Amino acid sequence: MSPSYVYTTIITPRPGLGQEIVDKIIEYKTRSRRTRGFATISVASDRPVIYNNAPFDQDLEGLQAYVEELATDPDSIKAWAEIAGLSESVSHMIGEGLAGMDPNPLTGNHDAPYLERLTLHAKPGERDSVTEQLIGIRELLGDPKMSVSRGATGDVNKLMMMRMLTDLSVIGEFRSRQEEHRETRAALAAVERSCVSVEREYARVVRLVRRADE
């Protein structure tokens, strides 16, 4: 069985965020068994990339035109679906994301959103864990609305597209919520233990009363 690759296109608000996300994924990988399928993680953050097989991959002007056409032309979106092996609905989602982009990043203005590609290389035999891995990343980033869509199945390369309009502050907020949830769970556990103690004490008193009646 050949290795399966997952090409995840993300829309990031600033250059370098893709690498920071990768660092967070690697950190998460060491703490979560759900991400054991990651053999390698790399990021192409030095230039815009839509899809490794898409036209104009390195031609920025052509890429800008391709993005604009893709975002506005239903036929182009349908063609994208055929090229990438995606469902048409997923391609529409990608087109909507691209339509909201300032095209200037594709020609050098890095103050606005631009595209980065994360390549997640799953080990042979662990193809089924890919979705779990990406769900783990989605949880790590604290963005439950982020779309995760599976492409073709079988022993072929898989394409996953995630629209992530997020920043590392989201991760911080998510971790803060996690801590709050831990405190809440600890408080609930303490209440539950108290309830159990009260129930046991009540049962003991009932037994004593019954014995006294006898």
Q: What is the mean pLDDT of each run of 10 residues along the chain (214 residues)?
A: 39 49 52 41 36 34 46 50 42 41 35 40 45 51 42 29 31 52 73 78 82 77
Distance CA 45, CA 15 (A): 7
**Strand ranges across the sheet with 4-12:** 38-44, 114-122, 4-12, 158-161
Alpha helices, H only, the chain: 17-31, 60-72, 74-84, 88-99, 130-141, 168-213
Query: What number of other Cβ atoms are within 10 A of residue 10's Cβ?
Result: 22
What is the pTM assigned to this prediction? 0.25
Give how far Cα 6 sits from Cα of 10, 123, 167, Å.
Answer: 12, 11, 22
Q: Is 76 exposed, middle or buried (0-12, 13-18, 19+ CB in 10 A)?
A: middle
Instruction: Report the pLDDT value the prediction gives residue 38, as an integer from 0 to 100.
Output: 38
